Structure 1
């Protein structure tokens, strides 16, 4: 398994979430944010662009509903034992599959928290979810529960952030010799990302931002590269990343 923390670390995170669930008098929470699933179980995928949900009951048991394409991903990268698949075909409504799963888990009539505020649950899927659950039980907005827990980093997490910060420094060191008249933005970006990969790091959650000349004051990534002129201002925004823990720099 490709886990980046000890099992005891994941157990401690689950226990903290169980306390929150109990304090809010919930019987279960439905997690849709990929970062919540990664923090809680190690599950590492960009398949959140499709419907998937991690059901966490008050007793700490966890069940993942996802597509077949992510079955092996979930088994290989997470501590999740119980994985249920929905079939992605024309006209499919995975919210129905989720309702059926919740029924199988004896949650009919229960008080269920939903992690609505996330890109992992589109407005379209959120509406379909509400349609299925409006008469199923008592639904509460549980957005932010895991986010707040994630604010308090364990020693193991802090070590990963420190590693990410070192990688961010390596990226800047790789860029500096290339920042000169005639320097190519493409080569600067390649050197920075290459230094992070060479150091054992990962892709960032956001593209590196580079801008020179008239583009120097842009604060978003855009397509296209140029070569530096003698008196150009150059703006760089990047992040060192290690096991998805970021140290953002500017």
Structure 2
């Protein structure tokens, strides 16, 4: 299997990381986020559900400590040459092996940044690190260091993002003809995911969201499929994925005649999306993006039906979520800069009337106005009953 990017690309990323480590006076980093490992070296696996850690020293050395099942995975997908294996056995302590490895690298007594805020760091691992490494080195939470670097995409990454965007549109275009009275959610879902796979794409970081009837108000995946009625509503949230890079979109499709509530909620969502687009420019904050969304929706007296966040960054992500840093919520000071990939969603769920309406798409930030990565129309999608 070839690397996702050129070795020169990975070398540049390593230089960027070690320069930031030097600025922050960190002697080493312990990476636990699979996204960080993938971004830095190409290492691609789902084995991060077990203990593994990638050590990066300020002078650019990289050592991966992982399980035997992931040894060849790392050899084939990454630039890492120094791969160590911790042994699966009763009472095994991979953190003790990590401590021995850090000692071998001369890092005792040094300042070491640790990625705590990630799915690859369980509470058990955190406890063991606090117990076994606290007197070995000065450990500091550096969970956001690589996440901040990953949020700005390189030209090579943007090329993959554009390929993911094409798969996003293809998935919706495959599903739309199937939607109507008597349609089965399973067939719609199969068409969407099948279009991504057929186009050379990957599994998404989380399941596609599909819900009709009362479940159209949900913004999470749930198990169980239903068949669409003559008058119905179907909420879809999905992502085209290429080389782990995600481009998400969201729509609520009305089956039959739209109700007055559907139309009112759609108009609020469309106005909010237009306001958000004006904020997706360098220098504005993610908090301002949220405020623009909330202002338009609240002005139409629909504030009770919106969420407390309206989007987030996207990139190369792993299960259980494709959401990335930073998120658009109230007062988030994180700034928009060029070459971010940002998904914004206007989600309205009126439990009183039972009407749902969602509208979302992904943008690439630039020096001027943001570029929408999807070619899908923003009109209210209606399928005849």
| Coarse TM-score class (shorter-chain normalised) | over 0.9
1:2 shift after superposition: 2.6
C-alpha distance in 2, partners of 1:182/1:90? 53
- The SS at the match of 1:75 is helix
Residue equivalent to 2:44: 44
Which moves more between the two structures, 106-115 or 234-243? 106-115
1:110-138 Cα distance to aligned partner (Å, 9 max, x none): 11111111110111111101111111011
Q: How large is the RMSD of aligned CA atoms in angstroms?
A: 0.7
State which structure, 1 or 2, has the greater radius of gyration over its C-alpha atoms.
2
- The SS at the match of 2:4 is coil
Q: TM-score, normalised by structure 1?
A: 0.99
Which stretches of structure 1, 4 residues or longer, exceed 4 Å deviation after superposition? none
Mark the runs of 5 or more structure 2 residues left unpaired by the alignment.
Answer: 251-385
> What is the 5 A alignment of 1:1-250?
1-250=1-250
- The SS at the match of 1:73 is helix
C-alpha distance in 1, partners of 2:87/2:202? 31
Which moves more between the two structures, 64-73 or 85-94? 85-94
C-alpha distance in 1, partners of 2:165/2:210? 19
C-alpha distance in 2, partners of 1:2/1:181? 45
1:202-227 Cα distance to aligned partner (Å, 9 max, x none): 00001001000111101110110011
Residue equivalent to 2:382: none
Determine which structure has the larger helix proportion and give its number.
1
1:150-192 Cα distance to aligned partner (Å, 9 max, x none): 1111001011111111100000000011101100100000000
Mark the runs of 5 or more structure 1 residues left unpaired by the alignment.
Answer: none
C-alpha distance in 2, partners of 1:4/1:139? 32
1:108 shift after superposition: 1.1
